[in-house]
């Protein structure tokens, strides 16, 4: 995924975001809310979770996590294990 793809997700209407199950978490404060959101998306049949985005200004603020760390972090709270596809996006020296 590229920064342009993130901007396209941000620009979707609220109705389209809901239909496609696209959710955003601005900053990485605690891992439990992320795990809960992943479960919520899984219960809806799948979707996309984008971490580290300032939606008001369309800036990448970063999550403080490498893409390889997220599945391990999430699975520590989720049972049974869910298949997760994680990708990192870099923009203006942030990931």
Residue 71 CA to residue 76 CA, distance in Å, equals: 9
Query: pTM for this one?
Result: 0.81
Is residue 38 pLDDT above 90, yes or no?
A: no
Q: Which residue has the higher pLDDT, 66 or 44?
A: 44
3-state SS assignment for residue 94? strand
Q: Which residue reads 């239909």 in tokens?
A: 19
Is residue 29 pLDDT above 70, yes or no?
A: no
Is residue 60 pLDDT above 70, yes or no?
A: yes
Residue 24 CA to residue 50 CA, distance in Å, equals: 5
């Amino acid at each position: 995924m590229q920064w342009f793809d993130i901007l396209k997700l941000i620009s979707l209407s609220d109705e389209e975001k809901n239909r496609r199950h696209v959710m955003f978490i601005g900053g990485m404060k605690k891992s439990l809310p992320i795990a809960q959101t992943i479960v919520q998306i899984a219960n809806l049949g799948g979707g996309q979770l984008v971490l580290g985005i300032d939606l008001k200004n369309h800036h990448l603020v970063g999550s403080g996590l490498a893409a390889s760390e997220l599945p391990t972090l999430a699975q520590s709270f989720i049972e049974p294990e869910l298949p997760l596809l994680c990708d990192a996006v870099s923009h203006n020296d942030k990931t």
